[in-house]
Amino acid sequence: MPPKCAGRKKLPVPLPPGYVLNDFQKKSWKLGKILGSGGCGLIYLAAPATERAVCDDAVHVIKVEYHENGPLFTELKFYQRVAKSEHIRDWMRNHQLSFLGIPTYWGTGLAKYKEKSYRFMVMDRLGQDLQNVLQQSGNRFSKAKVLKISIQMLDVLEFIHDNEYIHGDIKAANLLLGCTNDKEIYLADYGLAFRYQPNGTHKEYKEDPRRCHNGTIEFTSIDAHRGVAPSRRSDLEILGYCMLQWLCGTLPWEHNLKDPNAVQQAKIKFMNNLPTSVNECLPPGSECSEITSYLSYVNSLKYDERPEYQKIHNILLNRVRVNRPKALDPLHLPMQEYNKKVPDLCSLQNVVRTSPKEKSQKEVGLNAARETPSKQKPLQIKRASTTNKVECLPPTRITERKPKATMTVEDRSRETVQNEPRRAAEDIRGSGQKSRWDMLDGTAAHHYRLGQGWTKLVDRHSNSANVAHDKSKIKSSIYRYGATVLLLMILIGLVLLFL
Protein backbone atom coordinates (compact mmCIF):
# COMPACT_ATOMS: atom_id res chain seq x y z
CA MET A 1 0.00 0.00 0.00
CA PRO A 2 1.38 3.47 -0.83
CA PRO A 3 2.34 5.63 2.14
CA LYS A 4 -0.62 7.57 3.50
CA CYS A 5 1.44 10.72 3.66
CA ALA A 6 2.50 10.55 0.00
CA GLY A 7 -0.37 12.74 -1.14
CA ARG A 8 0.19 15.41 1.50
CA LYS A 9 4.02 15.35 1.28
CA LYS A 10 4.10 16.62 4.84
CA LEU A 11 6.93 15.77 7.21
CA PRO A 12 6.46 15.99 10.97
CA VAL A 13 7.29 19.15 12.87
CA PRO A 14 10.95 18.82 13.98
CA LEU A 15 11.58 17.96 17.61
CA PRO A 16 14.21 20.09 19.42
CA PRO A 17 17.73 18.67 20.01
CA GLY A 18 18.03 17.21 23.50
CA TYR A 19 14.36 16.14 23.58
CA VAL A 20 14.02 12.84 25.50
CA LEU A 21 11.85 9.98 24.22
CA ASN A 22 10.84 6.95 26.30
CA ASP A 23 10.26 3.65 24.51
CA PHE A 24 7.91 0.85 25.54
CA GLN A 25 10.76 -0.90 27.41
CA LYS A 26 11.08 2.23 29.59
CA LYS A 27 14.44 3.12 28.12
CA SER A 28 15.15 6.83 27.57
CA TRP A 29 16.71 8.20 24.37
CA LYS A 30 17.99 11.71 23.76
CA LEU A 31 17.68 13.30 20.31
CA GLY A 32 20.59 14.92 18.51
CA LYS A 33 20.67 16.78 15.23
CA ILE A 34 18.57 15.81 12.20
CA LEU A 35 20.47 13.63 9.74
CA GLY A 36 17.83 13.67 7.02
CA SER A 37 14.38 12.47 6.08
CA GLY A 38 13.09 9.14 4.89
CA GLY A 39 9.63 8.46 3.49
CA CYS A 40 7.27 10.39 5.74
CA GLY A 41 9.57 10.83 8.73
CA LEU A 42 12.64 12.59 10.08
CA ILE A 43 15.81 10.78 11.14
CA TYR A 44 17.74 12.03 14.19
CA LEU A 45 21.03 11.13 15.78
CA ALA A 46 20.32 9.61 19.18
CA ALA A 47 21.94 8.15 22.28
CA PRO A 48 20.81 6.74 25.63
CA ALA A 49 19.64 9.69 27.70
CA THR A 50 22.35 11.25 29.90
CA GLU A 51 23.25 14.76 30.97
CA ARG A 52 25.60 15.12 28.00
CA ALA A 53 24.48 16.22 24.56
CA VAL A 54 24.36 13.72 21.71
CA CYS A 55 27.72 13.67 19.91
CA ASP A 56 28.22 13.53 16.17
CA ASP A 57 29.71 10.04 16.48
CA ALA A 58 26.56 8.57 18.08
CA VAL A 59 25.86 5.00 16.98
CA HIS A 60 22.04 5.13 17.09
CA VAL A 61 19.37 6.94 15.10
CA ILE A 62 15.67 7.50 15.71
CA LYS A 63 13.08 7.68 12.95
CA VAL A 64 10.08 9.85 13.89
CA GLU A 65 6.73 10.08 12.08
CA TYR A 66 3.27 11.27 12.90
CA HIS A 67 1.31 8.64 14.79
CA GLU A 68 -1.34 8.29 12.09
CA ASN A 69 1.16 7.52 9.30
CA GLY A 70 1.13 3.94 8.05
CA PRO A 71 4.67 3.13 6.79
CA LEU A 72 6.48 3.32 10.13
CA PHE A 73 3.81 1.14 11.74
CA THR A 74 4.29 -1.46 8.97
CA GLU A 75 8.05 -1.30 9.43
CA LEU A 76 7.77 -1.78 13.18
CA LYS A 77 5.61 -4.87 12.74
CA PHE A 78 8.20 -6.37 10.43
CA TYR A 79 11.07 -5.82 12.89
CA GLN A 80 9.06 -7.08 15.86
CA ARG A 81 7.90 -10.25 14.10
CA VAL A 82 10.95 -11.13 12.00
CA ALA A 83 14.13 -9.16 12.71
CA LYS A 84 14.89 -10.02 16.32
CA SER A 85 18.63 -10.31 16.88
CA GLU A 86 18.59 -13.89 18.16
CA HIS A 87 16.37 -15.00 15.27
CA ILE A 88 18.76 -13.45 12.71
CA ARG A 89 21.77 -15.11 14.39
CA ASP A 90 20.11 -18.54 14.29
CA TRP A 91 19.24 -18.16 10.61
CA MET A 92 22.78 -17.05 9.74
CA ARG A 93 24.23 -20.01 11.62
CA ASN A 94 21.96 -22.45 9.80
CA HIS A 95 22.88 -20.94 6.41
CA GLN A 96 26.65 -20.69 7.09
CA LEU A 97 26.71 -16.88 6.82
CA SER A 98 28.82 -14.36 8.76
CA PHE A 99 26.87 -11.26 7.74
CA LEU A 100 23.27 -10.41 6.87
CA GLY A 101 22.26 -6.89 5.85
CA ILE A 102 19.29 -6.36 8.18
CA PRO A 103 19.55 -3.19 10.33
CA THR A 104 19.50 -3.74 14.08
CA TYR A 105 16.27 -2.72 15.82
CA TRP A 106 16.45 -1.38 19.40
CA GLY A 107 12.98 -0.27 20.37
CA THR A 108 9.90 1.83 19.68
CA GLY A 109 7.47 4.11 21.47
CA LEU A 110 5.01 6.99 21.31
CA ALA A 111 5.52 10.65 22.20
CA LYS A 112 3.66 13.97 22.25
CA TYR A 113 5.03 17.38 21.37
CA LYS A 114 2.97 20.56 20.99
CA GLU A 115 -0.28 18.60 20.92
CA LYS A 116 0.99 16.35 18.14
CA SER A 117 1.35 12.58 18.54
CA TYR A 118 4.45 10.87 17.21
CA ARG A 119 5.61 7.30 16.74
CA PHE A 120 9.35 6.60 16.77
CA MET A 121 11.73 3.70 16.18
CA VAL A 122 15.34 3.31 17.40
CA MET A 123 17.86 1.71 15.04
CA ASP A 124 21.59 1.31 14.55
CA ARG A 125 23.20 4.16 12.66
CA LEU A 126 24.21 3.35 9.08
CA GLY A 127 26.28 5.13 6.44
CA GLN A 128 25.36 6.79 3.15
CA ASP A 129 22.92 5.19 0.75
CA LEU A 130 23.93 3.49 -2.46
CA GLN A 131 22.17 6.12 -4.58
CA ASN A 132 24.78 8.70 -3.53
CA VAL A 133 27.57 6.26 -4.31
CA LEU A 134 25.97 5.56 -7.70
CA GLN A 135 25.80 9.27 -8.56
CA GLN A 136 29.43 9.74 -7.54
CA SER A 137 30.33 6.87 -9.90
CA GLY A 138 28.68 8.44 -12.94
CA ASN A 139 25.37 6.58 -12.46
CA ARG A 140 27.02 3.27 -13.32
CA PHE A 141 28.73 0.46 -11.48
CA SER A 142 31.08 -2.16 -12.87
CA LYS A 143 29.65 -5.58 -13.54
CA ALA A 144 31.62 -7.16 -10.69
CA LYS A 145 30.31 -4.55 -8.25
CA VAL A 146 26.70 -5.02 -9.42
CA LEU A 147 26.88 -8.79 -8.98
CA LYS A 148 28.46 -8.60 -5.53
CA ILE A 149 25.90 -6.11 -4.24
CA SER A 150 23.15 -8.32 -5.63
CA ILE A 151 24.54 -11.41 -3.88
CA GLN A 152 24.39 -9.62 -0.53
CA MET A 153 20.81 -8.55 -1.24
CA LEU A 154 19.86 -12.08 -2.27
CA ASP A 155 20.81 -13.35 1.19
CA VAL A 156 18.65 -10.65 2.78
CA LEU A 157 15.70 -11.47 0.53
CA GLU A 158 16.01 -15.18 1.30
CA PHE A 159 15.83 -14.42 5.03
CA ILE A 160 12.82 -12.12 4.58
CA HIS A 161 11.01 -14.60 2.34
CA ASP A 162 11.66 -17.49 4.71
CA ASN A 163 9.86 -15.45 7.36
CA GLU A 164 6.70 -14.85 5.26
CA TYR A 165 7.52 -11.27 4.21
CA ILE A 166 8.59 -9.47 1.05
CA HIS A 167 10.26 -6.05 0.92
CA GLY A 168 8.50 -4.54 -2.09
CA ASP A 169 10.68 -1.43 -2.56
CA ILE A 170 14.25 -2.47 -3.35
CA LYS A 171 16.30 0.38 -4.85
CA ALA A 172 19.65 2.10 -4.39
CA ALA A 173 18.15 4.75 -2.09
CA ASN A 174 17.11 1.99 0.35
CA LEU A 175 20.50 0.25 0.38
CA LEU A 176 22.80 1.70 3.03
CA LEU A 177 26.49 1.11 3.63
CA GLY A 178 27.71 0.18 7.08
CA CYS A 179 28.65 3.10 9.30
CA THR A 180 32.11 1.70 10.10
CA ASN A 181 32.49 -0.85 7.30
CA ASP A 182 31.51 0.28 3.82
CA LYS A 183 31.80 -3.26 2.50
CA GLU A 184 28.62 -4.17 4.37
CA ILE A 185 25.37 -3.26 2.62
CA TYR A 186 22.02 -3.14 4.45
CA LEU A 187 18.51 -3.27 3.02
CA ALA A 188 16.48 -0.62 4.90
CA ASP A 189 13.02 1.00 4.80
CA TYR A 190 10.40 -1.72 5.28
CA GLY A 191 7.46 0.67 5.00
CA LEU A 192 6.04 -1.36 2.08
CA ALA A 193 6.83 -4.78 3.58
CA PHE A 194 4.03 -7.25 2.96
CA ARG A 195 3.21 -10.55 4.62
CA TYR A 196 2.62 -12.72 1.58
CA GLN A 197 2.15 -16.02 3.43
CA PRO A 198 0.42 -15.49 6.79
CA ASN A 199 0.21 -18.69 8.83
CA GLY A 200 1.77 -20.69 6.00
CA THR A 201 -0.94 -19.95 3.39
CA HIS A 202 0.20 -18.06 0.29
CA LYS A 203 -1.93 -15.17 -0.93
CA GLU A 204 -3.99 -15.95 -4.04
CA TYR A 205 -3.27 -14.35 -7.38
CA LYS A 206 -5.94 -11.68 -7.73
CA GLU A 207 -5.73 -8.45 -9.70
CA ASP A 208 -7.07 -5.38 -7.88
CA PRO A 209 -7.38 -2.15 -9.93
CA ARG A 210 -7.33 -0.09 -6.72
CA ARG A 211 -3.74 -1.25 -5.97
CA CYS A 212 -2.23 -0.92 -9.44
CA HIS A 213 1.31 0.45 -9.89
CA ASN A 214 2.24 0.18 -6.23
CA GLY A 215 5.87 0.89 -5.29
CA THR A 216 8.62 2.85 -7.04
CA ILE A 217 7.40 3.05 -10.63
CA GLU A 218 10.68 2.38 -12.48
CA PHE A 219 11.52 -0.73 -10.44
CA THR A 220 8.18 -2.18 -9.31
CA SER A 221 7.18 -5.62 -10.59
CA ILE A 222 4.68 -6.48 -13.31
CA ASP A 223 2.46 -8.08 -10.66
CA ALA A 224 2.41 -4.78 -8.75
CA HIS A 225 1.46 -2.92 -11.95
CA ARG A 226 -1.54 -5.26 -12.24
CA GLY A 227 -2.61 -4.73 -8.64
CA VAL A 228 -1.63 -8.23 -7.52
CA ALA A 229 -0.37 -8.75 -3.99
CA PRO A 230 3.44 -9.00 -4.13
CA SER A 231 5.18 -12.36 -3.86
CA ARG A 232 8.74 -13.66 -3.74
CA ARG A 233 9.15 -13.42 -7.50
CA SER A 234 8.19 -9.72 -7.26
CA ASP A 235 11.18 -8.95 -5.02
CA LEU A 236 13.53 -10.82 -7.32
CA GLU A 237 12.15 -9.02 -10.37
CA ILE A 238 12.65 -5.63 -8.70
CA LEU A 239 16.24 -6.57 -7.84
CA GLY A 240 16.79 -7.54 -11.48
CA TYR A 241 15.65 -4.11 -12.70
CA CYS A 242 17.97 -2.48 -10.16
CA MET A 243 20.91 -4.57 -11.39
CA LEU A 244 20.18 -3.54 -14.97
CA GLN A 245 20.02 0.17 -14.09
CA TRP A 246 23.23 0.04 -12.01
CA LEU A 247 25.05 -1.60 -14.90
CA CYS A 248 23.60 0.33 -17.87
CA GLY A 249 22.91 3.69 -16.21
CA THR A 250 19.25 3.78 -17.27
CA LEU A 251 16.21 1.60 -17.96
CA PRO A 252 14.32 1.48 -21.28
CA TRP A 253 11.13 2.91 -19.75
CA GLU A 254 12.62 5.71 -17.63
CA HIS A 255 11.68 8.37 -20.20
CA ASN A 256 7.97 7.67 -19.65
CA LEU A 257 7.58 7.36 -15.87
CA LYS A 258 4.57 9.69 -15.76
CA ASP A 259 2.53 7.06 -17.62
CA PRO A 260 2.41 3.92 -15.39
CA ASN A 261 0.47 1.93 -18.01
CA ALA A 262 3.18 2.60 -20.61
CA VAL A 263 5.85 1.51 -18.12
CA GLN A 264 3.90 -1.68 -17.44
CA GLN A 265 3.68 -2.56 -21.14
CA ALA A 266 7.37 -1.76 -21.65
CA LYS A 267 8.32 -4.16 -18.81
CA ILE A 268 6.11 -6.93 -20.20
CA LYS A 269 7.69 -6.53 -23.64
CA PHE A 270 11.16 -6.44 -22.10
CA MET A 271 10.69 -9.69 -20.15
CA ASN A 272 9.18 -11.46 -23.17
CA ASN A 273 12.13 -10.58 -25.41
CA LEU A 274 15.01 -11.86 -23.28
CA PRO A 275 17.97 -11.96 -23.95
CA THR A 276 17.70 -9.48 -26.83
CA SER A 277 16.13 -6.79 -24.64
CA VAL A 278 19.04 -6.91 -22.17
CA ASN A 279 21.68 -6.78 -24.90
CA GLU A 280 20.03 -3.67 -26.37
CA CYS A 281 20.48 -1.85 -23.03
CA LEU A 282 24.20 -2.52 -22.84
CA PRO A 283 26.95 -0.35 -24.29
CA PRO A 284 28.44 -1.66 -27.57
CA GLY A 285 30.87 -4.50 -27.02
CA SER A 286 29.52 -5.42 -23.57
CA GLU A 287 27.80 -8.61 -22.53
CA CYS A 288 25.69 -9.49 -19.50
CA SER A 289 24.83 -13.17 -19.53
CA GLU A 290 24.48 -13.30 -15.72
CA ILE A 291 21.69 -10.72 -15.53
CA THR A 292 20.03 -12.24 -18.59
CA SER A 293 20.05 -15.70 -16.98
CA TYR A 294 18.84 -14.21 -13.70
CA LEU A 295 15.87 -12.41 -15.30
CA SER A 296 15.01 -15.47 -17.39
CA TYR A 297 14.85 -17.60 -14.26
CA VAL A 298 12.72 -15.03 -12.41
CA ASN A 299 10.37 -14.78 -15.39
CA SER A 300 9.87 -18.57 -15.28
CA LEU A 301 8.76 -18.59 -11.62
CA LYS A 302 5.12 -19.16 -10.76
CA TYR A 303 3.33 -16.67 -8.52
CA ASP A 304 3.50 -18.83 -5.37
CA GLU A 305 6.66 -20.78 -6.22
CA ARG A 306 9.61 -20.75 -3.85
CA PRO A 307 12.78 -19.66 -5.70
CA GLU A 308 15.92 -21.80 -5.62
CA TYR A 309 18.19 -19.27 -3.94
CA GLN A 310 21.32 -21.39 -4.25
CA LYS A 311 20.72 -21.69 -7.99
CA ILE A 312 20.44 -17.90 -8.24
CA HIS A 313 23.70 -17.56 -6.29
CA ASN A 314 25.39 -19.81 -8.80
CA ILE A 315 24.04 -17.74 -11.70
CA LEU A 316 25.40 -14.51 -10.23
CA LEU A 317 28.71 -16.00 -9.14
CA ASN A 318 29.46 -17.09 -12.69
CA ARG A 319 30.93 -13.71 -13.62
CA VAL A 320 32.72 -13.17 -10.32
CA ARG A 321 34.96 -16.16 -11.15
CA VAL A 322 36.41 -14.19 -14.06
CA ASN A 323 36.56 -10.58 -12.86
CA ARG A 324 38.83 -9.86 -9.92
CA PRO A 325 37.94 -6.70 -7.96
CA LYS A 326 40.22 -3.78 -7.26
CA ALA A 327 41.78 -4.17 -3.83
CA LEU A 328 41.35 -0.51 -2.87
CA ASP A 329 37.79 -0.01 -4.11
CA PRO A 330 35.58 -0.04 -0.98
CA LEU A 331 32.59 -1.37 -2.89
CA HIS A 332 34.58 -4.02 -4.76
CA LEU A 333 34.01 -6.67 -2.14
CA PRO A 334 36.73 -9.31 -2.60
CA MET A 335 35.36 -12.69 -3.56
CA GLN A 336 37.33 -15.83 -4.30
CA GLU A 337 36.39 -18.12 -7.15
CA TYR A 338 35.15 -21.65 -6.85
CA ASN A 339 34.75 -24.14 -9.66
CA LYS A 340 36.56 -27.42 -10.17
CA LYS A 341 37.01 -26.62 -13.86
CA VAL A 342 38.26 -23.04 -13.28
CA PRO A 343 40.74 -22.96 -10.34
CA ASP A 344 41.43 -19.81 -8.37
CA LEU A 345 44.11 -18.11 -10.46
CA CYS A 346 45.25 -15.82 -7.64
CA SER A 347 45.56 -18.57 -5.02
CA LEU A 348 48.07 -20.85 -6.74
CA GLN A 349 50.30 -20.83 -3.69
CA ASN A 350 48.12 -23.74 -2.51
CA VAL A 351 48.93 -25.78 -5.63
CA VAL A 352 52.29 -27.55 -6.06
CA ARG A 353 53.50 -27.58 -9.65
CA THR A 354 55.90 -30.32 -10.81
CA SER A 355 58.00 -30.67 -13.93
CA PRO A 356 57.64 -33.65 -16.33
CA LYS A 357 60.82 -35.11 -14.87
CA GLU A 358 59.42 -34.93 -11.37
CA LYS A 359 56.18 -36.53 -12.54
CA SER A 360 58.10 -39.48 -13.94
CA GLN A 361 59.96 -39.82 -10.65
CA LYS A 362 56.64 -39.87 -8.81
CA GLU A 363 55.40 -42.69 -11.01
CA VAL A 364 58.32 -44.93 -9.96
CA GLY A 365 57.75 -44.11 -6.31
CA LEU A 366 60.56 -41.61 -5.73
CA ASN A 367 60.20 -38.38 -3.75
CA ALA A 368 60.95 -35.33 -5.89
CA ALA A 369 61.74 -31.79 -4.86
CA ARG A 370 58.86 -29.43 -5.56
CA GLU A 371 59.25 -26.47 -7.82
CA THR A 372 58.60 -23.18 -6.03
CA PRO A 373 55.88 -20.89 -7.44
CA SER A 374 58.36 -18.01 -7.51
CA LYS A 375 59.66 -19.37 -10.81
CA GLN A 376 56.26 -18.99 -12.44
CA LYS A 377 55.31 -15.89 -14.42
CA PRO A 378 52.60 -13.61 -12.96
CA LEU A 379 49.20 -14.61 -14.30
CA GLN A 380 46.82 -12.28 -16.11
CA ILE A 381 43.09 -12.53 -16.66
CA LYS A 382 40.74 -10.57 -18.85
CA ARG A 383 37.85 -8.51 -17.50
CA ALA A 384 34.87 -7.07 -19.32
CA SER A 385 35.01 -3.61 -17.76
CA THR A 386 36.86 -0.52 -18.99
CA THR A 387 40.33 -1.86 -18.10
CA ASN A 388 41.81 -4.46 -20.40
CA LYS A 389 43.84 -6.61 -18.00
CA VAL A 390 44.14 -7.20 -14.29
CA GLU A 391 47.38 -8.57 -12.92
CA CYS A 392 47.11 -11.10 -10.13
CA LEU A 393 49.62 -10.91 -7.34
CA PRO A 394 52.42 -13.50 -7.67
CA PRO A 395 51.84 -16.59 -5.54
CA THR A 396 53.34 -16.73 -2.09
CA ARG A 397 56.75 -18.42 -2.00
CA ILE A 398 56.77 -21.94 -0.66
CA THR A 399 59.97 -23.11 1.05
CA GLU A 400 61.55 -26.02 -0.82
CA ARG A 401 61.63 -29.13 1.32
CA LYS A 402 64.16 -31.88 0.64
CA PRO A 403 63.15 -35.49 1.20
CA LYS A 404 64.37 -37.06 4.42
CA ALA A 405 66.74 -39.99 4.32
CA THR A 406 64.96 -41.72 7.17
CA MET A 407 61.59 -41.08 8.72
CA THR A 408 60.40 -42.43 12.03
CA VAL A 409 56.81 -43.33 12.83
CA GLU A 410 56.51 -40.16 14.88
CA ASP A 411 57.83 -37.98 12.00
CA ARG A 412 55.46 -39.64 9.55
CA SER A 413 52.43 -39.03 11.82
CA ARG A 414 53.49 -35.41 12.39
CA GLU A 415 53.72 -34.79 8.62
CA THR A 416 50.30 -36.41 8.13
CA VAL A 417 48.68 -34.11 10.70
CA GLN A 418 50.32 -31.00 9.23
CA ASN A 419 49.16 -31.81 5.71
CA GLU A 420 45.55 -32.65 6.64
CA PRO A 421 44.07 -29.11 6.08
CA ARG A 422 45.67 -28.82 2.62
CA ARG A 423 44.59 -32.30 1.55
CA ALA A 424 41.03 -31.78 2.78
CA ALA A 425 40.80 -28.45 0.95
CA GLU A 426 42.07 -30.05 -2.29
CA ASP A 427 39.50 -32.85 -1.97
CA ILE A 428 36.70 -30.32 -1.49
CA ARG A 429 37.91 -28.22 -4.45
CA GLY A 430 38.00 -31.28 -6.70
CA SER A 431 34.59 -32.59 -5.61
CA GLY A 432 32.66 -29.62 -7.02
CA GLN A 433 30.71 -29.22 -3.77
CA LYS A 434 28.41 -26.18 -3.60
CA SER A 435 29.51 -23.16 -1.65
CA ARG A 436 28.17 -19.84 -0.42
CA TRP A 437 29.99 -16.48 -0.42
CA ASP A 438 29.46 -13.55 1.89
CA MET A 439 31.06 -10.14 1.51
CA LEU A 440 31.38 -9.05 5.10
CA ASP A 441 34.77 -7.61 5.91
CA GLY A 442 36.74 -7.25 2.73
CA THR A 443 38.20 -10.77 2.95
CA ALA A 444 37.05 -13.75 0.94
CA ALA A 445 34.98 -15.75 3.42
CA HIS A 446 34.12 -19.11 1.90
CA HIS A 447 31.33 -20.98 3.69
CA TYR A 448 30.95 -24.62 2.76
CA ARG A 449 27.58 -26.22 3.25
CA LEU A 450 28.74 -29.05 5.49
CA GLY A 451 27.38 -32.46 4.60
CA GLN A 452 28.09 -36.11 5.22
CA GLY A 453 30.82 -36.15 2.57
CA TRP A 454 32.83 -33.44 4.34
CA THR A 455 32.30 -34.99 7.78
CA LYS A 456 33.41 -38.41 6.61
CA LEU A 457 36.41 -36.89 4.84
CA VAL A 458 37.62 -35.08 7.94
CA ASP A 459 36.89 -38.05 10.19
CA ARG A 460 38.76 -40.43 7.87
CA HIS A 461 41.89 -38.26 7.71
CA SER A 462 41.81 -37.25 11.36
CA ASN A 463 41.32 -40.88 12.52
CA SER A 464 44.28 -42.12 10.47
CA ALA A 465 46.48 -39.37 11.89
CA ASN A 466 45.32 -40.11 15.45
CA VAL A 467 45.98 -43.86 15.07
CA ALA A 468 49.55 -43.24 13.82
CA HIS A 469 50.15 -40.74 16.60
CA ASP A 470 48.82 -43.16 19.27
CA LYS A 471 51.06 -45.97 17.99
CA SER A 472 54.15 -43.79 18.23
CA LYS A 473 53.22 -42.76 21.80
CA ILE A 474 52.72 -46.42 22.83
CA LYS A 475 56.09 -47.48 21.40
CA SER A 476 57.95 -44.64 23.10
CA SER A 477 56.23 -45.47 26.42
CA ILE A 478 57.25 -49.15 26.12
CA TYR A 479 60.87 -48.18 25.44
CA ARG A 480 60.89 -45.80 28.40
CA TYR A 481 59.36 -48.30 30.84
CA GLY A 482 61.69 -51.09 29.64
CA ALA A 483 64.75 -48.95 30.22
CA THR A 484 63.53 -48.09 33.72
CA VAL A 485 62.97 -51.77 34.66
CA LEU A 486 66.40 -52.74 33.31
CA LEU A 487 68.09 -50.01 35.35
CA LEU A 488 66.29 -51.15 38.53
CA MET A 489 67.36 -54.74 37.97
CA ILE A 490 71.00 -53.67 37.57
CA LEU A 491 70.84 -51.66 40.80
CA ILE A 492 69.30 -54.59 42.70
CA GLY A 493 72.04 -56.92 41.37
CA LEU A 494 74.77 -54.55 42.56
CA VAL A 495 73.22 -54.29 46.03
CA LEU A 496 73.01 -58.09 46.34
CA LEU A 497 76.60 -58.44 45.16
CA PHE A 498 77.98 -56.13 47.86
CA LEU A 499 75.85 -57.80 50.59
Strands (E), 53-115: 60-66, 105-113
Give the per-residue pLDDT at 322: 40
- For residue 197, the model assigns a pLDDT of 92
Integer Cα distance of 341 and 399 in angstroms: 28
Do the beta carbons of residue 184 and residue 440 sit within 8 Å? yes
Is it true that 19-124 and 127-317 share their CATH fold? Answer: no
Task: Decide yes or no: CATH 3.30.200.20 for domain 19-124.
Answer: yes
Those residues whose C-beta lies under 8 Å from the C-beta of residue 204, and which sit 6 or more positions away, are none
Residue of 152, 142, 140, 160 lying closest to 185 (CA atoms): 152
3-state secondary structure of 340: coil
At residue 22, the pLDDT reads: 94
Alpha helix stretches (DSSP H) within 226-367: 232-248, 260-272, 276-281, 289-300, 309-320, 356-363
Which bin fits 498, alpha (ψ -120 to 50), beta or left (φ > 0)? alpha
Instruction: Output the pTM of the full model.
Output: 0.64
Q: Indicate the domain borders of the chain.
A: 19-124, 127-317
- pLDDT per residue as tens digits for the range 195-213: 999 988 999 999 998 899 9
Active-site hit among 155, 169, 189, 438: 169
Give residue 473's pLDDT.
Answer: 74
Architecture per CATH, 127-317: Orthogonal Bundle (1.10)
For residue 301, the model assigns a pLDDT of 96
Cα separation, 185 vs 440, whole angstroms = 9
Is position 169 annotated as part of the catalytic site? yes
Predicted local distance difference test score (pLDDT) of residue 41: 86
User: Which residue ranges of the chain lie beneath pLDDT 70?
Assistant: 1-9, 39, 319-470
Whether residue 123 contacts residue 63, with contact meaning beta carbons closer than 8 Å, is answered with: yes
> Do you find a cis peptide bond into 16, omega within 30 degrees of 0?
no
Number of residues in the chain:
499
- In sequence order, what E strands does 336-386 have? 380-382
Q: d(Cα 257, Cα 291) in Å, to the nearest integer?
A: 23
pLDDT for residue 418? 52
Render pLDDT for 391-428 as a digit per residue (tens, 0 to 9): 433 444 333 434 444 444 445 444 544 555 455 445 54
CB-based burial label for 265 (10 Å; 0-12, 13-18, 19+): middle
